[in-house]
Amino acid sequence: MEATMRELNQQTAKVIGAVERGETVTVTKDGRHVATILPPSLAEPVYPFRTDPMGDELDDMPVIPGGGGRILADLDRHMEGFGR
């Protein structure tokens, strides 16, 4: 469905009803696309924080020669007293 800003303003209940029925509404202003209203089933969740702190690709993780045993032992030593 397409609705102009004027239609959205004057017939909000009708437009939201269409969204409730599962339709996607494209909102236009002066013939330009300015917004898209999606039903919740189609919308991607929005998080107030970043959800991929390590990035998308695990292949980019650095390889520690020898398995990093010394680094992990040093880490354990430094973490003593912090609940470990």
Residues 34 and 28: their CA atoms lie apart, in Å, by: 5
**Residue 51 confidence class, pLDDT cut points 50, 70, 90:** low
Q: Which domain holds residue 14?
A: 2-37
Q: Residue 12: inside a domain, yes or no?
A: yes
> Which of 60 and 81 is assigned the larger pLDDT?
81
Mean pLDDT confidence for 54-78 = 63
DSSP state of 65: G
Residues 51 and 35: their CA atoms lie apart, in Å, by: 25
Q: Residue 45: inside a domain, yes or no?
A: no
Q: Residue 52: inside a domain, yes or no?
A: no
9: which 2 tokens?
């303003």
Q: Residue 14: inside a domain, yes or no?
A: yes
User: What is the model's pTM?
Assistant: 0.53
Cβ neighbors of 24 (< 8 A, separation 6 or more) are 1, 36, 37, 38, 39, 42
> Which of 1 and 72 is assigned the larger pLDDT?
1
pLDDT in tens, 16-46: 999 999 999 999 999 999 999 999 888 887 7
What pLDDT shows up at residue 50?
67
20 sits in which H/E element: helix 12-20
